[in-house]
Amino acid sequence: MKKPWLGIGGAVFGLWLLSCTAAWADAFETPLPTGTIEWGLMAGYGLSNSLGASKSGIDFVTLLPRFGYVFAELGENPPWKGSLQAVVEAVPALVAFEESQTIYGGGFNLLLRYEIATGTRLVPFLEGGAGVLLSTPQSTEPTSQFRASQFNFTLQIAPGLRYFLSDRTAVSLEYRFHHISDAGLTEKNPGINSDFVLIGFSILR
């Protein structure tokens, strides 16, 4: 025998979900307003590839605290309606597992993020920029960029999605193409190209 309270409970939950969606709709109709500040933390895993002279098979784990500031709103209508955000990303830990050794790196990144306002809690974005990376000890692998230099620059570009849990908190998932090289400061500069998957959490105000 079907319990009537199951149907009643399902109807109540459905109405609650609908009311929440309607109540939050206005919060996501517009891009993040100019002046919005964001604090966030990202973490993830990467694996180097053989693009160019890059040495493949290097595993990475990383931790990335972030600070962002929305400085412009773009477009009046979809699909280009969105916001521009300047991001400073600390790199307290970029750990590379190369053959039988572990390389520890740290530095910072300066990024620009373009976020598209969709009118929903699911928001696509594209970000990219450059940074500085210091690492120690130097690698013993002759074909590795970490042997060429302990001082390197980084370039990265990352498409991704984030989901707003509320109008002030969000989680994100992104793919990041990541490049490490010393810009020709040393004679051998093979570089390292890697593919990263990162997850994150942000608080906005």
Instruction: Note the pLDDT of residue 18.
Output: 47
Q: What pLDDT digit, counting tens, does each position of 51-60 carry?
A: 999 999 999 9
Could you tell me the CA-to-CA distances from 148 to 48, 104, 144, 177, 189 in Å, in that order?
16, 15, 7, 21, 6
Residue with tokens 């570009």: 157
* Long-range pairs for 1-6: beta carbons < 8 A, 24 or more residues apart: none
115-149 as b/e: b if 16+ CB within 10 A: bbbbeebebebebbbebebebeeebebeebbbbbb
Task: Assess contact for 171 and 199: CB atoms under 8 A.
Answer: yes
CATH number for the region 31-204 comes to 2.40.160.20
Q: How many CB atoms lie within 10 A of CB 202?
A: 19
Domain boundary assignment for the chain: 1-30, 31-204
User: Cis peptide before 4, with omega less than 30 degrees from 0?
Assistant: no
The structure's pTM equals 0.84
Instruction: Note the pLDDT of residue 8.
Output: 58
Please count the CA atoms within 13 angstroms of the CA of 6 that sit on its side-chain side.
Answer: 3
Question: Which token pair is 116?
Answer: 């598209």
Instruction: Note the pLDDT of residue 171.
Output: 98
- Residue spans of the chain under pLDDT 70: 1-29
Measured CA to CA, the distance from residue 28 to residue 122 in angstroms comes to 9
Measured CA to CA, the distance from residue 182 to residue 145 in angstroms comes to 8
| Residues forming a β-bridge with 200 | 42, 172
Q: How many CB atoms lie within 10 A of CB 62?
A: 21
